[in-house]
Every structure is written in C-alpha cells, then in structure tokens.
Amino acid sequence: MSDYFRLRFTVEGVPELSRILFGEMKKVENLKEPLQIAARYIRQDVETNFITEGGLVGGWAPLTDSTIRGRERGGWGAHPILQRSGALRRSFYSLVDEKKAIISSSSPYFVYHQSRQPRTRLPRRAMLVLVENTRQNIVEAFHKFLRFK
C-alpha cells in the first residue's frame, strides 16, 4: 500500500492541478469532509460567475444583437447572460462521497458553453472554473483535515 495520496483537480477532463500530499493511508480512508468543503468553494465560484457574467474568467462574450432582439421580443432583457429562465444556473449540483467530489450541471447545453472545442457560432462562456484562490483554499482544507487526523 502506498504511503501518499494524490489530490487532483480536473476541469473539462484536463488535469489542471495535481499535488501530492503525504500522510498515512489509514488517515485518509474517508475524505468526505474536505471534499465537501472543496465542492462548496467550487459551487460558490459557479454562482459568482453567474452573478458577474463570467467575472472569474474575464467576462463572458456579450450576446449578439440578434440574440438581444430575440430576448427583448420574448420579454427578457439583454442581461443577465445565460440566465433567461434561470434553469442553467439552477442546474449545478455536487455529489460527494469518501473518495471523490463531482461538481457538474444537469443542463444539456452546459457542455457547449463550457467546452474548449473550436466554435463558429456559440461563444465559450465557462461557468465551472478553478481559480487560484479557490485552489489554495481547497489545498488548505485538505492540509487542515490531514493535520488533525
């Protein structure tokens, strides 16, 4: 049995951060507590992105004139972006167990906005991101958890 575990953050299927934290495996059989903290931090960032229209990623691309006209015809204004009905914003969830945390969206169109794939029409408007401050807070939560085990 190994005497370390690996804390890995994966965003969009690409490892953004991988850091080894040392400790005895018997101390980390159940990581639910720090994983719940991590999930909370990330969900807060998703909410911040909706409130600030992508402020954590430098701002989302503005809506096209035709989209604005269509929204106005439907009784919606040009803002907030990605929140015409609120369904996308409400679709985010987290699942946490002893070994992993999953933060995602049940919206079928979330993946199109989040994707880094080349695009011609729909601009990328990432909602689920890992910013440095959040990464540091999560690593600190794991450090605190391991220190008291």
pLDDT for residue 7 is more than 80: no
pLDDT for residue 50 is more than 90: yes
pLDDT for residue 82 is more than 60: yes
* Crossing angle between the packed helical segments 32-51 and 132-147, to the nearest 10 degrees: 160
pLDDT for residue 53 is more than 60: yes
pLDDT for residue 24 is more than 50: no
pLDDT confidence band for 121 (50 / 70 / 90): confident
* pLDDT at 99 (0 to 100): 83
Are 28 and 149 in contact, with CB atoms under 8 Å apart?
A: yes
* Element spanning 133, H or E: helix 132-147
pLDDT confidence band for 147 (50 / 70 / 90): confident
More confident position, 15 or 67: 67
In whole angstroms, give the CA distance from residue 142 to residue 37. 9
* Element spanning 9, H or E: strand 4-11
Token reading at 52: 């600030």
In whole angstroms, give the CA distance from residue 65 to residue 71. 10
* Element spanning 36, H or E: helix 32-51
* pLDDT at 122 (0 to 100): 87
C-alpha 45 chain-centroid distance: 7
- What is the signed CA dihedral for 80, 81, 84, 90, rounded to 10 degrees? -90
